[in-house]
Amino acid sequence: MSDVLVSLVKIFVALGWFLILTLYLTWVERKESAVLQDRIGANRASVFGLRIFGLFQPFADAIKMIFKEDFVPAFANKVLHTLAPFVSFFFVAVTITAMPFGDDIVLGGKTLSLQVFDPSVGLLYVLAMLSLGIYGIILSGWASRNRFALLGSVRGAAQLISYEVALGLSLIGLIMVFPSLRMSEIVRFQGGTVLGFLPRWGVFLQPLGFALFFIAALAETKRVPFDLPEGESEIIGFFAEYGGLKWGLFMMTDFMEIIVVSALIATLFFGGWQVPWLAADGFHWPWGGHWALAKWLVIALQVLAFQVKVVFFCWLQILIRWTYPRFRYDQLMDLGWKLLVPLGLLNILGTGLIMSL
Amino acid sequence: MSQAFGYLWALLKGAAITTRHFVVNMWFHTLRLVGFKRFRPGAVTIQYPEVRKPLASRHRSLHRLVPRPDGKPRCVACLLCVTVCPSECIYVEAEEDPDADIQKTAGTFEIDLTRCCFCGFCVEACPEDAIRMDTGTIDLAARSRKDLFFDRGRLLR
B19 shares a domain with B71: no
Q: Is A20 a member of any domain?
A: no
Assigned domain for B103 exists: yes
Mean pLDDT of the A90-118 span: 85
The per-residue pLDDT for range B30-41, each reduced to its tens digit, is: 898 888 877 788
Q: Which residues contact B126 (CB under 8 A, 6 or more apart)?
A: B75, B80, B81
**Average pLDDT over all residues of chain A:** 88
Residues B76 and B119 in one domain: yes
In a domain, B84, yes or no: yes
In a domain, B130, yes or no: yes
Residues B72 and B41 in one domain: no
- Mean pLDDT score, A344-350: 93
- Domain with residue B134: its CATH number is 3.30.70.3270
What range defines the domain where residue B83 resides? 64-155
- DSSP annotation of A50 reads B
Least confident of A22-31, A168-177, B41-50: B41-50
Distance of CA A186 to the CA centre of its chain: 17
**How many domains does chain A contain in total?**
1
Same structural domain, B21 and B96: no
Q: Which pLDDT band holds residue A54 (cuts at 50, 70, 90)?
A: confident
Residue A23 placed within a domain: no
For residue A80, the SS3 value is: helix
How far is it, in rounded angstroms, from Cα A268 to Cα A182? 11
Percent of chain A predicted with pLDDT > 90: 32
Instruction: Give how far Cα A147 sits from Cα of A139, A141, A235, A333, B4, Å.
Output: 13, 8, 9, 22, 35
Residue type, B124: E
Helices (H) and strands (E) in chain B, counts: 4, 5
**Same-domain status, B34 and B94:** no
In a domain, B140, yes or no: yes
- Say if residue B34 is in the same domain as residue B68: no
Q: How many CB atoms lie within 10 A of CB A289?
A: 8
Same domain, B77 and B136: yes
Whether B55 maps to a domain, the answer reads: no
Cβ contacts from A onto B, under 8 A: 40
Q: How many domains does chain B have?
A: 2
What domain range is A237 assigned to? 77-356
Candidates B27, B28, B45, B48, partner chain A, best to mutate (most A CBs within 10 A)? B45
Based on the fold, state whether residues B98 and B150 are members of the same structural domain: yes
Q: Does A331 contact chain B (CB < 8 Å)? A: no
Same-domain status, B2 and B32: yes
Residue A41 lies inside a defined structural domain of this protein: no
Same domain for B124 and B92: yes
Q: Which residues of A touch B12 (CB under 8 A)?
A: none
Residue A345 in domain: yes
| Residue B22: closest C-alpha in chain A | A36
Kindly state whether residues B134 and B76 are assigned to the same domain: yes
* Closest Cβ–Cβ partner in B4, B15, B21 for A38: B21
Residue A72 in any domain: the answer is: no
Amino acid at A68: K
Residue A95 near residue A156 (C-beta atoms within 8 A):
no
* Residue B151 in domain: yes
pLDDT tens digit sequence for B69-120: 888 899 999 999 999 999 999 999 999 988 888 889 988 999 999 999 999 9
Question: According to DSSP H, which parts of chain A are helical?
Answer: 2-36, 57-66, 78-93, 122-132, 134-144, 147-177, 183-189, 202-205, 207-220, 244-269, 295-321, 329-334, 341-356
Percent pLDDT > 70 in chain A is: 100
Cα(A53)–Cα(A41) distance, integer angstroms: 9
Residue B58 lies in a domain: no
Question: What is the predicted ipTM?
Answer: 0.84
Answer yes or no: do B28 and B100 share one domain: no
> Region A292-301: what's the mean pLDDT?
86
> Does pLDDT of A348 surpass 70?
yes
* pLDDT score of B1: 64
Decide if B54 is inside a domain. Answer: no
